[in-house]
Amino acid sequence: MDEIVVHKFGGSCLRDGNDIDQIADIIRTSEGRPIIVVSALWGMTDRLIRASREPRYASRLVQDLTYQHLRFAPGLDTGEFGELFKNVISGISKELLKLSSGEESLRSENLILAAGERLSALAVAHRLRRSGIEDAHPVGAEDIGLRLKGIGRAKEIDIDASSVNLDRQVLVGLPILTGWFGEGDDGNIALLTRGGSDHSAAAFANLMNASKLILWKDVDGIKQLNPRWGIETPAIPYLGYGQAAELSMHGTPVIHPATVFPLIDEGIPIEIKNFHNPNSSVSTIIGPDIVTDEIVAIGCQPGVAIITDNKPLSSDLLLEIERLGITPWLVKSTPEEFRIILPKHELDNLENFVSGKIEFKTAIISILGNPDIPIEHELISTNEYATRIIVETNQLHETIRELYHSLFSRQDCK
Ligand code: ASP
Ligand code: MG
């Protein structure tokens, strides 16, 4: 039997109708047996979030949404998925109506947001069929028993529960699976954090014993330094799972922070490829960690909060951090001191739980690989994947670029 390859197409690969022709080409030439995971069409989730906050504009939104999906997939409303399409659209109207009558409910909000992925799967399946891929069909992750760890919102997919629960029988032909949501611990729909379809795709790769996961993005893989810092650097050819997870914890990551977790035990590789240049030889492969002396990449997250206290760690604070799905960069608890370092913007949600002293710093920088030179900034942790330092500067761009040049030029001279 052919080995399964999971292809994930996010919003940046779903901007207009031509993109589907590109998806069709990729699928036709894919090695192995392809399975597709999609997120919502470009910009759709942002619009659905706004709509659920301003439900009084509901009717206009529903019209717009219908129009946009039909422009993307003409004939969707009258084709074989027409009934499903109308059901999702009327489901959105219904839930928006509930919200506008003042009924506050996370379930309604989640149903509205998840509809973005449902509509996208319908639109993609419809267009692929029209382009001759007859066995394409949409599949809702919640409908086939994909389980998430949490109620309403969740940090990750429950692989063990899903593996027992999943109705694999429907995954014949070319399934177009919805990313981002599933069934929560209470049996109701639950959502991952933003960008979570990468993690959904990884979970499906695990559950279907895939030989590979390809994440199609609008970049040539993960760069040594995010281009937002003002220099173009090469894509990293190979990253270990641990390094990839580390890098995705820092500012505007290419992949969702939970992406790699479902793949580690089986060692399933991820390839990050450029959707607009699929035949390019440049890409990033993520797989088992290998020990190396090289500097691999630099990640940076601006806006750091440091909480210190001489009292022991408040369990309420830790529980709240866990509940909100926040991943701190450091949690240190000794009899004398407690210290926690996390993104500054997360502090707003924790205000009522924090005691002790709060300090703000410009940024945290993570150096992946082994920086065997003294670094003049405050060190916060170091392990086999990365060395994390804190920088305090009003010239962050320059500081990062200097660090990049000094670390990588030393390496090039070696
Ligand atoms: N559509 C969702 C979002 O925009 C999930 C995803 O893109 O992965 O966050
Ligand atoms: Mg999206």
- Report whether pLDDT(234) > 80: yes
Q: What is the mean pLDDT of residues 317-329?
A: 86
Q: What is the mean pLDDT of residues 78-94?
A: 97
Query: If you ran DSSP here, which 8-state letter would residue 270 be given?
Result: E
CA distance 357 to 309: 6
- Report whether pLDDT(165) > 60: yes
Looking from the CA of residue 194, the nearest atom of ligand 1 is 9
Weakest-pLDDT range from 86-90, 121-125, 208-212, 309-313: 309-313
Q: Whose CA is nearest to atom 2 of ligand 1?
A: 195
How open is the CA angle 392-395-399, to the nearest 5 degrees?
75
Q: Whose CA is nearest to atom 5 of ligand 1?
A: 195
**pTM of this prediction exceeds 0.85:** yes
Which residue of 45, 47, 215 sits with most ligand 1 atoms within 8 Å of its CB, as the best mutation to test the pocket? 45
Give the Å distance between the CA of 198 and the centre of ligand 1. Answer: 9
**pLDDT band of 412, cuts 50, 70, 90:** low
- Report whether pLDDT(371) > 80: no
Give the domains, in start order, of the chain with CATH numbers.
Answer: 4-217 (3.40.1160.10), 297-413 (3.30.2130.10)
Region for residue 351 given its phi and psi (left: phi exceeds 0; alpha: psi -120 to 50; beta: otherwise): alpha
Give the Å distance between the CA of 253 and the centre of ligand 1. Answer: 13
Find, among 324, 334, 343, the residue nearest to 390 by Cα. 343
Looking from the CA of residue 40, the nearest atom of ligand 1 is 1
> 276 CB contacts (<8 Å, ≥6 apart)?
22, 218
Give the Å distance between the CA of 15 and the centre of ligand 1. Answer: 14
pLDDT tens column, 258-278: 999 999 999 999 999 999 999
Cα 291 → chain centroid: 26
Weakest-pLDDT range from 12-16, 247-251, 360-364: 247-251
Give the Å distance between the CA of 368 and the centre of ligand 2. Answer: 28
Is residue 147 within 8 Å of 165, Cβ to Cβ? yes
> Average pLDDT over the chain, rounded to whole?
93
- Report whether pLDDT(211) > 70: yes
Give me 313's structure tokens: 């760690």
Find, among 128, 158, 148, 152, the residue nearest to 21 by Cα. 128
Find, among 192, 22, 6, 18, the residue nearest to 117 by Cα. 192
Give the Å distance between the CA of 178 and the centre of ligand 1. Answer: 10
pLDDT tens column, 28-66: 999 999 999 999 999 999 999 999 998 888 888 999 999
- Report whether pLDDT(25) > 90: yes
Cα 184 → chain centroid: 18
Give the Å distance between the CA of 196 and the centre of ligand 1. Answer: 6
Ligand sitting nearest the alpha carbon of 202: 1
Which residue of 9, 13, 39 sits with most ligand 1 atoms within 8 Å of its CB, as the best mutation to test the pocket? 39
Q: Whose CA is nearest to atom 7 of ligand 1?
A: 195
| Residues in contact with ligand 1 (CB, 6 Å cut-off) | 10-11, 39-40, 45, 116, 179-180, 194-197
- Report whether pLDDT(12) > 70: yes
